[in-house]
Each structure stands twice: as structure tokens, then as C-alpha cells.
Amino acid sequence: MTTTPLERADVAVIGAGIVGLATALRLLEQRPDLRVVLLEKESTVASHQTGHNSGVLHAGLYYQPGSLKARLCREGKAELEAYCEAHGVPVERTGKLVIALDESELERFEALKERALANEVPGLEEVGPERIRELEPHAVGIRALWSPGTGIVDFLEVAKAFARDVVERGAAIETRRAVESIARRGEEMVIGTSRGDVVARRIIACAGLQADRVAAMTGDDVGRPRIVPFRGDYYTLKPEARHLVNGLIYPVPDPAFPFLGVHLTKRIDGGVLAGPNAVLATSREGYGRFDVSPRDLLDTVTHPGFRVLARKFWKMGALEMWRDWYKRAFVADLRRFVPALSGDHLVFGPSGIRAQALDADGSMVDDFQLGGSERVLHVFNAPSPAATSSLAIGRVLAGEAVERFGL
């Protein structure tokens, strides 16, 4: 989507993924008189993390109580459901089971339950084997958390609805306009792009996989994390096997990692995804196993934090790579909680890239991280559940922009 070019704006939003679009929308709701332009380097909106999303509307089970993630997920889910209803975007509340398979997982299960209760997840219920079978007849486990409010949606369709909305409110969305430089000129910011300069009073950067590089353009990267990409590959269930899954079936996650483990996800179109794994990606925007960007790979391996992470978790990384290349290992993980599944039920499906922010000490940044300077706001880190939380993130950024920038 490309609208009439806007070479001078009050606010330029860098990135037209779901967070950038939601931010522009919330900003225009607060200040409808502003001239807003969204700069997107791809030919369409929502081309990367948004467009490769599995489509889960998260209820907030996993996140540290009191964190920005926990609050904005809860608020954002309600806001997004209301928006979808008002704009005709289909949403389904499928519910989610998080299953403990044996006693070795109960300590992590109890910790997750306490976190979910602290986050006031609506309708949360602890269930046993009989109730598991009622909800998911083909699943097994000794205990589970049932989150009836967890749902599914097509986030690409949500993003397209946001895009139509912001254009109707007077914003310009300029695609194929990669940001190459940012400089201050008096009271204005000059954004050099692949198709000429754009001048804006202020900037909000929602650059996703390129967040750290855009922050470096404005000098706001000091002390901030580096983006390290992780690829997640999915299989899809053949139509004749879809009856094995009613909704969302997840394992109990390992709290040491931000990834949720291989799981089964019903989609809004009726399909079922199996996965993803989590392997180091050799390209920030390459979705195939053999896609390599020398620049991206060099940025990763030269980051001190990555070397710390690799030394600490190389065994898990090797296991993820083994599961990525060996379908039987992938299937074996799934069969632990849905034994009726077989390799014949699965065909190779889509892939996504997670922008994992990594500090110099090797710590994986878990919470949303927003901030910036006098003239620029940045989304430094917005992994899952950023899509669920997008309208709430946008509201926070818009409010901060109005106050900080004096808009």
C-alpha cells in the first residue's frame, strides 16, 4: 500500500508492521490534526513478524507480574478484540491447554500457575486428566492449565484493517521506502530513504527486526540490546488429521528461555500449525534454512552477548537444530502430548523470525522495552505478545509522544 507521498510530516513512524500501524492509529485518535507518515521498506505492510505470526491472541499466562508485557497483554487483548468486532475481523476464543506430562514438570507447572494467577488471567482453571480429555480428546497429561479466553485471529488481516483506518484518518503509508539515515536539522529530523528525504518534526521507530539499527541512526543505541534473530519452523497438519486438535495445546515452558516449546495451534482458517522450533537465523529477514545475510550473521557472531549465550546454551541450541533437520525428532516432541499424531500427518509449513533482543552480558531481554530521546521514540524490544498487545503498546507510545514531543 502506497498513498500520496508526504515529504513533510509532524510525525514519521518507521515501520508499518502491526505495532507501527497501531501506534499511528492511536496517535491519530488522540491528535487527529497531525500529519503522520509511515515509512515501510517492503512493498506491503506487515511483511515480517506480523505476517509470519501464528495468530494466537494471548491471555497473559507467561509474563512476569508487574511487567510491561503482563499489563499491556491484558489491556491490549481486550482492546484488540473490541477493535476486531467493530471492524469485522474474525476472532475465535478457542481456549488453550498448557499440559504437564509427568511429575518432573510439576514444579515448573506450579510456578506458571502462580504467575498466571498473579496476572489475573480470566477464567483460569487447573484441570486433571479427565478434563483434559473433555477439552482435547486426543491429548494426554497429568495436569493442565486451561485458559478459556485465549483465542486466535489473523494478525495480517488486523494489520490491513489498521492500515485502512489510518489512511482514512489522513495518514500516508509509503511502501518501498527503506530508511537509510536520520539527521537533525534545526528543529526538524531529516530521514534519508531509498526514495528521497522525508522531513518530520518527530519520529517514532517501530522497526522490529531492524530496531537496533534504526536506534543507531539516531544515537540511541548506547546501552541498548542488539537484535539476534531466531527462526521458527512450523509443520501443518493435513486436513484428515485436524480433528486431533480442537484449540491450542502447549507444553509447560522452560522459564530460562523466552520460547514456549513445540505446540499445536488451531488457525482462524481451520488449519493447524505444529511448532515452532527455535534455531539461530543467519538472516534477519530470511525465512528459509539456507538464507544467509553476511551482514546479519556478522552482527550476531560479533555481539559479546551472543558469545555468552552460545557458551551457556549450546546443548539446547544443538537439540533445536537436530529437531529442525530431523522430522522424526520434531514429531516425537508432539507425540508426547498428542500420541495419535504421526509423521504422515504433517507437511512442512511456514516459518517466522523472532527479533530477540540480547544484552551485552548474554541476557535475553524478556520485557517490552520502549524509550528514546527528545525527538525520537523507539520500540527497542517487542517480541510476543506484541501483536496481541499492539493497540495498548500504540496507546502508550502515542501518549508518550504527545507529552514528550509537545504535539
Give the residue extent of every domain in the chain. Answer: 8-50+156-224+367-405, 94-150+226-358
pLDDT at res. 337: 93
pLDDT at res. 312: 86
Residue 44: other Cβ atoms inside 10 A? 17
> Which regions in the chain score pLDDT beneath 70?
1-6, 256-260
pLDDT at res. 320: 79
Q: Which of 63, 294, 51 is nearest to 156 (CA)?
A: 51
pLDDT at res. 314: 82
Please provide residue 168's backbone torsions phi and psi, each rounded to the nearest 5 degrees. -60, -25
d(CA 1, CA 105): 47
Contacts of residues 129-138 at CB distance under 8 Å and 24 or more positions apart, as own/partner, are 132/97, 132/99, 135/95, 135/97, 135/246, 135/247, 136/97, 136/245, 136/246, 136/247, 136/249, 136/338, 137/246, 138/244, 138/245, 138/338, 138/339, 138/340
Quick one: 8-50+156-224+367-405 is in which CATH superfamily? FAD/NAD(P)-binding domain (3.50.50.60)
pLDDT at res. 261: 78
Residue 69: other Cβ atoms inside 10 A? 27
Is residue 26 within 8 A of residue 395, CB to CB? The reply is yes
Q: Which of 165, 163, 192, 156 is nearest to 177 (CA)?
A: 192
pLDDT at res. 325: 83
CATH of domain 94-150+226-358: 3.30.9.10
pLDDT at res. 260: 67
pLDDT at res. 60: 96
